[in-house]
Amino acid sequence: MTITSYLTSISSISPPEPAANFLCSLDLSELVHSLRSLEKSLVELDALRVQMKIRTLGLERYCRPLVFEKAVTKMRGDLKRMPDEILAFIFQAGHDMDRYGHYKFAVSVSHVSRHFREVALSTPRLWTRGECPLQISAFIARSRSVSALDIKASPMTRPPPDATTLSQFLDLLLPHSRRWSSLQFVDNEQLRLAFQPHTNIQLPELRHLDARYGYDFNEVTPIWANWEMRHLDNYSTLSLRKFVSTARSYGMHA
């Protein structure tokens, strides 16, 4: 196409008709009827959209357990294929990450499945926290010869243990005192009665000692005065009586 013919074709196009000159073939009543029909269609579309949304949510709710079950099945398959050494390493990492130093982590993972229990029982490091009198014998046996026992000589039980219970607890722990790496206790009358027959305790691997003094503490000589702790690196102490007094002075609830 030449430039001349192109310009001729453009000039032949009629300009758009002004809105004022627009003529509709429908009368007003027909237009109103058409608008109302469109409005009704929009309402029906909105209702349909709501129904589709409800059905979508229902399908998602129905499929969620199936997706979860599929993920769990895949995870179980991955765990079965995972070498026991890697699984034991994961257990040990979880054990070390427990900032409260609680013994229940080992119990929890050993109750997941038979496979988990076999791996947990063959991982001595998981069983190095001695604080539960009812399970201390099993924990010591499962820890084997690991020289890193974390001992809480004052179990946090309700009601607090009496001197007899503490003596029985210590009778199970003290034969393994050379394996203790940390020791925490509340120094009170009951504990001193339990420790009374044991004066010269050998703790060659002990590195952390946390002594907390109860409300009835009136002794001047520490309970650990004659203990052998040549590798002790860290010692911390807290008086519960002073702590409560200080907390009350600051308006805290202890």
pLDDT tens, residue by residue, 136-193: 889 999 998 888 899 888 766 667 778 888 888 888 999 999 999 999 888 888 888 8
Asked if residue 89 belongs to a domain, the reply is yes
Are residue 157 and residue 86 in the same domain, yes or no? no
Q: Would you place residue 250 in the very low, low, confident or very high pLDDT band (cuts 50, 70, 90)?
A: very low
Among residues 127, 158, 190, the one where a domain terminates is 127
Range of the domain at 90: 72-127
Tens digit of each residue's pLDDT (9 = 90 or more) over 237-247: 877 555 444 43
Residues 134 and 253 grouped into a single domain: yes
Sheet with 208-213, side-by-side order of all strands:
129-130, 149-152, 180-187, 208-213, 234-239
248 & 170 share domain? yes
Asked whether residue 223 is assigned to any structural domain, the reply reads: yes
Q: Is residue 76 part of a domain?
A: yes
* Residue 7 in this model has a pLDDT that exceeds 50: no
Judgement on whether residues 133 and 218 belong to the same structural domain of the protein? yes
Q: What is the pLDDT of residue 215?
A: 62
**Number of domains the chain is built from:** 2
More confident residue, 6 or 42: 42
Q: 59 near 52, Cβ under 8 Å?
A: no
Share of the chain above pLDDT 70, in %: 78
Same domain as 161, residue 231: yes
The CA distances from residue 153 to 51, 118, 119, 132, 226, in Å, are 64, 29, 28, 9, 17
Mean pLDDT of the chain: 80
Q: What is the pLDDT of residues 10-41, one digit of tens each?
A: 455 455 555 455 555 667 788 888 888 888 88
Is 153 within 8 Å of 170 (Cβ atoms)?
Answer: yes
d(CA 217, CA 4): 113
> 30 is written with which tokens?
């027909």
Verify that 163 and 91 share a domain, yes or no. Answer: no
Q: Tell me how far apart the alpha carbons of residues 5 and 107 are, in angstroms, rounded to a whole number.
A: 92
Q: Are residues 141 and 198 in the same domain?
A: yes
d(CA 149, CA 140): 9
Q: Is residue 169 part of a domain?
A: yes
108-117: pLDDT as tens digits: 999 988 999 9
Which range, 40-44, 89-93, 211-215, has the best average confidence (pLDDT)?
89-93
**For the residues 120-128, what does the mean pLDDT come to?**
93
